[in-house]
Amino acid sequence: MTGESMRERMLAGELYIADDPQLGLDDARAQRLAHRINTTDPTDGATMRALLTELLGGYGEGSLIRPPLRCDYGYQTTFGARSFANFGLICNDVATITIGDDVQIGPGVQLLTSTHPLEPGPRRDKWEAARPIVIGDNVWLGGGVIVCPGVTIGADTVVGAGSVVVRDLPAGVLAVGNPARIVRHLDPQATVRSVDPQTIAQHDEPRV
């Protein structure tokens, strides 16, 4: 198969081989831009925004990603408006990663789209694939959260620190643990005045 056909297979979510000239060029581009992002003065907002806009498939207004940032291709990740990612975000964006508006991402979060065959023969032959990840608007991912391939997290949902999300989560819930499980539904009508500050410090809440 040609390099372009392997790239097309990857983008289509089919099995493909990553050791491919065209994908190698795409990866090298992403690593060069990520290196520049990770070594640029973080207070130079204009340069950081220009580099992130060049790297990513979309980078919304009013958003901030604190370096270091790691990704496979960059163009497969879109980052919504007014969203924030703390230090050490990993976007394994072999399939698309869609991050909504007003999302909060804690340090050391991993968004992992890659999959590999369970059977030893195809895995030895270096075949792999990927499944998209979608993070809805106003989601909060606590520090160290891992989101696995194919997962969609609904709007307004909170995922506790260190949780591993292996299946879809609906909108407006708190989920914790490995594998992440829903522990309660969140009040969509809550306001600052109605929030008890003591509940924010409970052990089952995430940490940004």
Active site residues: 116
Residue 17 CB: number of other CB atoms within 10 A?
Answer: 14
Kindly give, in sequence order, each residue whose CB lies less than 8 Å from that of residue 119, ignoring residues fewer than 6 positions away. none
- Tell which residue, 178, 174, 117, has the closest CA to residue 145: 178
Alpha helices in the chain (DSSP H): 3-11, 21-39, 45-55, 120-124, 197-200
**What is the maximal distance between C-alpha atoms in the chain?**
61
As a whole number of angstroms, the distance between CA 39 and CA 49 comes to 14
